[in-house]
Homo-oligomer: A and B are copies of this chain.
């Protein structure tokens, strides 16, 4: 009868006595979990039961790493300094084992399901559910001849897609970061609510979002043996390029035709955009700039020009990216929007790399938008803001905004 008992447990755990403070359970908690808790200043309290452990550490990936304190009841607790608003990945390190906090909803990041805590941004409603018309997120499975596997993707269809059976829509392909997956833009990013709210306010065109799984290996290809190869080594760089090339073929040869034949899209370059965050930004630049016949709107969120950033060098318009940046007038005619963004608190190497790309593009006289997110790191609050700004500029000839 355990499962029935467990339902009761959910009730019971929501009955802890409240301390007199403005700490509240985080929105990212599972139902009934009192911890983590967040206060109005952004401080976070975490609590975990580990009665026999000798050391428990709280490990925010882009934030504080703190030893927790053991209490007499076998629970370990800690209160962090104030964190910037947004959604923060964290893990617990219990006697050397890095695990997720089971009080949290599990989000896919870092190649595993991990815990996150949402620190609210005062006054921001653009990424939460509002009483407006909602689109629907659909799960699709498509059989890829490139990878030889069934691949899972999420598709956001805007409000009234079902009822306006003669209307066609433009499409934004929206990619997750490294270590994340096709669910990230909905679960972490709230891309569906961002679009619902933008559309309801008349601040963006009604569009379809397609969120694909960004890892790929060609059918029959063995995984690369990277044992002992450091990040940045030629072998690792080649593995990344192989993966991106396989993903490029999957997107351009399989996914786009599948989407255009399954949903009511405008199946042409003027109505097709791509953007991605971090690794997804790197992929977006490669895929779109290799296929300007397919895309006319391009967004790099904390990852534009990834290979240049990784290699720590400037853009060379005469050699890089199929030489598309060598002819500013021709580029401006073809590409309706080129958009770069980065958080002001991102790690120096990322921030300076994107800034260098921005300056290179200015020198090359390539028209583009450059957006810096105040106060935010290489995290989802940056990318929610990016999407809000980017989506509003799409499919209306970006230059008018």
Contact = CB atoms under 8 A, between A and B. Distances in A.
Interface stretch (A91-99, A314-322, A363-371): A91-99
Interface residues of A, number: 92
B113 A30 contact: yes
A134 interface: yes
A271 to B, nearest CB: 20
Specify the main secondary structure of chain A where it touches its partner: mixed
Interface stretch (A218-226, A290-298, A324-332, A393-401): A218-226
Nearest to A226: B12
A31 B100 contact: no
A6 B96 contact: no
Contacts of A114: 102
Contacts of A227: 12, 15
A136 B129 contact: no
Interface string A1-24: 111111111111111000000000
A301 to B, nearest CB: 11
A3 B180 contact: yes
A27 interface: no
B55 A52 contact: yes
A178 B112 contact: no
A256 interface: no
A341 to B, nearest CB: 15
B97 A240 contact: no
Which of A7, A192, A236 has the largest count of B CB atoms less than 10 A from its CB? A7
A178 B349 contact: no
Given A52-B95, A131-B143, A134-B141, A350 B236 contact: no
Interface of A: 1-15, 30-33, 48-56, 61, 74, 92, 94-100, 102-106, 108, 110-114, 129, 131, 134, 136-141, 143, 150, 162, 165, 177-180, 186, 192, 215, 223-227, 229, 231, 236, 239-240, 243, 262, 278-279, 282, 303, 306, 309-310, 347, 349-350, 378
